Amino acid sequence: MTPRKDYYKVLQVDPEAEPEVIAAAFRRLAAKYHPDVNPSPNADQRMKEFNVAYEVLGDATRRAQYDQARAQATKRRGRPRGSTSQSKEPPLRKTRETAMLVVTPGLLSFGTVARGLQPSARLEIGVTGGRTLIGELHTDQPWIMLSACKLFSEACTVRVTVDTQNLQENRLHSGTITLDSVAFGSKSIPVSVRIAAPPRPALKVHPSTLDFGTMHPGQPPKLAKLSIENAGTGLLSGEIRPKEPWLSVQQARFEHNTVVTHIIAQVAGLEPGRSYTGEIEVSTNGGTGLVTARVQVSTPPPVQASVRTDPPTSSDLAFLHQRLSILAQMAEPTPAQALEKTVIGYLLQACAPGTVEATLSRAVSTSSGLGQQSVAPSPGWNKDIQEIMRHPKLTLDILEDLLERLRRWQEHQKP
């Protein structure tokens, strides 16, 4: 087949030029006339001619065939008409290894990753035989990102990054990187990544029932241990919410896979002689659990007045006797409880039936610095308050607590 164009002239090289010279000439011309850099209207056509010429002259086998066809055409053009002599054909060039496009690895598998990460890998692209690769990379998925798209070199490294932020969890995602080259056609590189299943916490609560046993109305709060664990994956977080006013929690909110806290039972203000049942709700991102709490409020023992021998004739004096009996049962009373016993003893001595609340209210008002003129005077009330306030360690908290207990007691006594 007679070549239509002299490819050596197209690439502006000598027919005896070495392969390295031909490759260098092609790179020089491509850099000058590539449509991306040359705005002239014929740049695209010139580039196509360079590509066709280099596809032939850049391959040793195709160049040898082209040289034979070119030599025969030259011989026919220069032979005199009628001449039968044959000129000696030029020797065939020693063929070299056929140029090949090499992409490593042939596929990119990123395995299983958590959503939100951006794993990356290297893609090695090159051509054997000293050829120059001219081409372009593009992908069919927006989550596949490339560090370079235009290629013009013998070898290059492209960083491939996978953006998993918007990919669905617990699913395999696939895509393709396509390399379109001028001299070697197209090549596809498969890309895959599996997004891990989301973490799923699972709530485990122990025990399911808290039994506080029997408690006296005046005894200190009682604590019971509650354990919370994550039996699933991820991080457990939530809140502990007692549903009864006589229950409280030491640590309400948590964000940990192992939590040990205490539920507190306070029966002050509950009716004696009754049993109470309540619930504690544990609400978490791993589910909701309910814990049952039980307590028995004991009936106060018969009142044995240590100060007065006559039976109480009113509700407020009965309260003082009941409270004094509870304090007397405490093996190691606190300083505040000991002082409270002193106050109750004085009230039993000084207060007539029905006057305990008024006396305590005046004492609280005086202790807190409120205006005494707003309190209606009665015989001996200043003396009562002065006697109570004589104790140096008495605090406003003790007076207010005793007054609040008295009011709850009287509320419970109402029919």
- Would you call 304 exposed, middle or buried from its count of C-beta atoms within 10 A (0-12, 13-18, 19+)? exposed
pLDDT number for residue 77: 67
Which of 77-86, 205-214, 371-380 tops mean pLDDT? 205-214
CA gap 192, 159 in Å, rounded: 15
Calculate the average pLDDT of the chain.
81
- On the question of a cis peptide bond just before residue 105, with omega within 30 degrees of 0, the verdict is yes
**Per-domain residue ranges of the chain:** 7-76, 101-195, 203-297, 315-413
Least-confidence region, from 84-93, 108-117, 217-226, 259-268: 84-93
CATH superfamily of 7-76: DnaJ domain (1.10.287.110)
Give CA–CA dist 47/306, Å, rounded.
117
CATH topology of domain 203-297: Immunoglobulin-like (2.60.40)
Q: How much is the pLDDT for 253?
A: 92
Percent of the chain with pLDDT over 90: 31
Token output for 262? 């205490």
What is the pLDDT, as a whole number, of residue 283? 94
* 188 vs 392: which has the higher pLDDT: 188
- Render pLDDT for 255-279 as a digit per residue (tens, 0 to 9): 999 999 999 998 887 888 899 999 9
Q: Compute the half-sphere exposure of residue 289: CA atoms within 13 Å on the CB side of its CA.
A: 22
Residue 227's closest CA among 243, 244, 250? 250
Q: Can 7-76 and 101-195 be said to share one CATH topology?
A: no
Residue 188, SS3 per DSSP: strand
**Measured CA angle at 340 (ends 400, 359), to 5 deg:** 55
Residue 239: which H helix or E strand, with range?
Answer: strand 237-242
Residue type, 278: G
* Each residue's pLDDT tens digit, 318-355: 888 888 888 888 778 888 888 888 888 888 888 888 88
Query: Which of 40-44, 291-295, 352-356, 392-396 is predicted least confidently?
Result: 392-396
Query: What pLDDT is stored for residue 391 in this prediction?
Result: 53
Torsion, CA 132, CA 138, CA 143, CA 144, rounded to 10: -20
Q: Pick the closest to residue 188 from 118, 141, 128, 152 (CA basis).
A: 141
Give the separation between CA 321 and CA 306, rounded to whole angstroms: 9
pLDDT for residue 380 is more than 80: no
Helix (H) or strand (E) holding 401: helix 396-413
pLDDT 10s digits, 152-206 = 877 889 999 999 999 999 889 999 999 988 777 788 999 999 999 888 999 999 9
The rounded distance, in Å, linking the Cα atoms of 101 and 132 is 10
The CATH number fitting domain 101-195, selected from 3.30.390.30, 2.60.40.3170, 2.30.40.10, 3.90.1310.10: 2.60.40.3170
d(CA 388, CA 339): 10
Q: What's the mean pLDDT in 18-43?
A: 84
Q: Do strands 108-113 and 185-195 pair parallel, antiparallel, or not at all (unpaired)?
A: parallel
Q: Is 171 exposed, middle or buried (0-12, 13-18, 19+ CB in 10 A)?
A: exposed
pLDDT of amino acid 158:
93
Task: Find where tokens 């120059």 sit.
Answer: 132
Model confidence at 307: pLDDT above 50? no
H/E stretch holding 162 reads strand 155-162
In angstroms, the CA 262 to CA 91 distance is 98
**Model confidence at 374: pLDDT above 50:** no
Whether 99 and 134 have beta carbons less than 8 Å apart is answered as: no
What would the pLDDT profile of 229-262 be if each residue is shown by its tens digit? 999 998 999 999 999 989 999 888 999 999 999 9
What pLDDT score was predicted for residue 257? 93
The answer to whether the Cα torsion of 142, 146, 151, 154 is positive or negative is negative
